[in-house]
Every structure is written in C-alpha cells, then in structure tokens.
C-alpha cells in the first residue's frame, strides 16, 4: 500500500485531491484523509457517483479550469534562461 500522506508530508505547494465518490480501489475516505493531512493551499474535489476508472469521463473542461486555476495562477520560482 502506497502511503501518499507520508510521501507528501514535506510538500508545501498547492495541491488538488480528486476523489471518486464511489471508488472501489481507493476509497473516498482515503482521499479525504490525504486532503486533511496535506499542508499548504489545497482543494478537495469529489466527483459525484464516480468510480476509480470513470471519474475523468464525468468532468469537462470547465471542471479542469476551476480545479487547476488556483495552482496555475501562482507564480512559481523564476529561473534565468540557460545559454
């Protein structure tokens, strides 16, 4: 079993936890627990009625824009171009 919370314990960047409401592989409660364990800016998105392998068919472009907008609007670290 992969311990996502332990592996993300040091992450302080923005996160989105996507939960399939009726997931038979990774129970929704596991996703909610991961969300609770994360630090930093975070969002929890529960896809109603979805199972593990069909949640992406239940969301569309507007859902993705809403989910990713907070993360994409943040300025990341700047780097100088390499010559």
pLDDT digits (tens, 9 = 90+) for 24-67: 999 999 999 999 999 988 999 999 999 999 999 999 999 999 99
State the average pLDDT over residues 55-80: 81
CA dist 19 → 24, 33, 49 (Å): 11, 11, 10
Place of tokens 């311990």: 3
CB atoms under 10 Å from CB of 78, counted, come to 5
For residue 18, the cross-strand partners are: 45
Q: What is the Cα–Cα distance from 18 to 13, expressed in whole angstroms?
A: 16
pLDDT of residue 75: 54
pLDDT of residue 83: 42
Model confidence at 72, pLDDT cuts 50, 70, 90, reads confident
pLDDT of residue 49: 97
In terms of pLDDT, which residue wins out, 82 or 71?
A: 71
DSSP tag of 24: S
Place of tokens 């992406």: 56
């Amino acid at each position: 079993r992969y311990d996502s919370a332990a592996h993300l314990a040091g992450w302080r960047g923005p996160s989105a936890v996507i939960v399939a409401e009726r997931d038979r592989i990774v129970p929704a409660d596991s996703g909610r627990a991961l969300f609770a364990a994360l630090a930093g800016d975070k969002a929890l998105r529960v896809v109603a009625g979805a199972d593990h392998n069909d949640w992406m068919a239940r969301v569309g472009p507007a859902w993705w824009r809403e989910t990713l907008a907070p993360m994409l609007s943040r300025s990341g670290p700047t780097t100088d171009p390499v010559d």
